[in-house]
Amino acid sequence: MLPVEKIASGTITNFILYLAIIGILLFVATVLRLKINFLKKAFIPASLIAGIIGLILGPYVLGLFSAEMRSSLSAMPTPFIVIVFACMQLGVKRSNLKDALILSAPSVIQGYLYSFVQVGVTCLLTALLFTPLWGTNSIFGCIVEVGFEGGHGTAGGMTEVYAELGWAAGGDVGQTTATIGLIIAIVGGIILINMGVKRRYTTVLEDSSALNAGQETFTGGEKKPSTYTTISGNVVETFAFHAALIGIAIFIGKVIIYLFDLVFHYSLPLFPFAMIGGWLLNMVLQRTPLAELMDRGIFVHIQSLTMDFLIVAAVASVSIPVILENWKPLLISCTLVTAIIIWLFWWTSPRLYKKHWFECAITRFGVATGVAAIGLMLLRTCDPEMKTEAGTVYGLGTPFVSPFVGGGLITTAYPYLIVAMGALKCGLLFVGISIALILLCMLVGLWNRKPVMEQRGNL
């Protein structure tokens, strides 16, 4: 066992040490990702590879990392996800609400449909099968939505909620579900794209052999600028200015939670309210000249950096004994939910989207089973030059989905609803809402009764 805790002492110093270890794992994983052809073809992100390496080095396999280190790593996703969510609305330009809703409505509907199905089906399985057979905690009913639609960050942020509600194992189970979802999003997404190409459902991509042709490194004159300097270094470093705005957003979220606890005597997780804090701050700044000093690209990079570190820490710190204890309900629920999501992908997508249905749908599939980055990766895979409107549709729909499901306020409320109502009632409720949502689309004219499946060249 490596005595890494003896290298440094003190909470902050240890935090820096663990960041360094995550950095080492991520560096090694990046080299492996670039050198090993299988990992490239499978589109496995370096952060997931690094997390798996950390898990192998941990106390449950090789034992090179101590149990104390695993415990410390398991605590890191919670503050990381606060930063990720604080960035979500910062720097987002205001758009015409009506136009945004009209264009993004199918993506928004599908986002909620996937979330409600994931919760509804898992709650029914928990109430009718898992709890009677294996004594599974009823809160397990929300674990697939938190892991799939929410991802590692949301799973980490919900750890304290699970513990507060009496299910201490929920954090580890949630991180495992998020890892399963990430793999399903990548592997399943690539399989769906291959099927779409063969059936001429893709608008741009004509040959599946082009799937692995994307450039992965940029050197020399190929290097691309991705952010802008918006304020002179004589005043403040641009990234420091943006980090300050993130800090303000988090502080606003903390104040909201404090006031809520003061009035209702009830504690809430910080991460969704950090997003609300960012939304409030952005709404104010967009009405001032300071809006021009915000570069959305910087917030996206900070968000992505934090997510990579978060995934490494989350996967590396998964408790294998907890997973072995819950492997049966995990296997059954993840398998059945994935099958239903794929069925909904093929059935609802061409009937919801007016144009470029496959590209719009594959983006939402990646987000609903993995994370936003995977959804966009799948989109770029089948639409490398972003010729379709799928990216715009997803982007416009994000403010109407992310604050609520997949880690937002509704996701945060799921375990409380299950505790209050029971898994069976929650399952029936959300399956019923899912069916009602589809029926509503049919009634209000958002349903293509005679969908055009083939999209090739239909720009």
Task: Report which DSSP code applies to 207.
Answer: -
- Closest CA relative to residue 186, chosen from 394, 365, 397: 365
Query: Which tokens sit at 56?
Result: 């192998």
**Type and span of the H or E element at 320:** helix 320-325
Give me the torsion for CA of 228, 217, 90, 87, rounded to 10°.
Answer: -140
Q: Could you tell me where the DSSP H helices lie in 184-295?
A: 189-198, 238-264, 271-285
Strands (E), 387-443: none
pLDDT tens, the chain, 459 aa long: 555 555 444 566 778 888 999 999 999 999 999 999 888 877 788 888 999 999 999 999 898 888 888 888 888 888 888 898 888 888 887 766 676 677 889 999 999 999 999 999 999 999 999 999 999 999 999 999 999 998 887 888 888 889 889 999 999 999 899 989 988 998 899 899 999 999 999 988 877 665 665 667 777 777 677 778 888 889 999 999 999 999 999 999 999 989 988 888 777 778 788 888 998 999 999 999 999 999 988 998 898 888 889 889 988 988 889 889 899 999 999 999 999 999 999 999 999 998 899 999 999 999 899 877 788 778 878 887 778 888 878 877 877 887 788 877 899 899 999 999 999 999 999 999 999 999 999 998 889 988 888 888 776
Angle at 274 between CA 272 and CA 280, to 5 degrees: 110
Question: What gap in Å lies between CA 383 and CA 97, rounded to an integer?
Answer: 27
- CA-to-CA dists, residue 141 to 15, 121, 124, 168, angstroms: 33, 8, 8, 15
Query: Which tokens sit at 266?
Result: 């009830």
Range 167-198 burial, b when 16+ CB lie within 10 A, else e: bebbbbbbbbbbbbbbbbbbebbbebbeebbe
Query: Which tokens sit at 111?
Result: 């986002």
Long-range residue pairs from 158-166, CB within 8 A, at least 24 positions apart, any chain = 158/269, 158/411, 158/412, 158/415, 159/74, 159/77, 159/78, 160/78, 160/269, 161/269, 161/412, 161/415, 161/416, 162/415, 164/267, 165/139, 165/415, 165/416, 165/419, 166/137
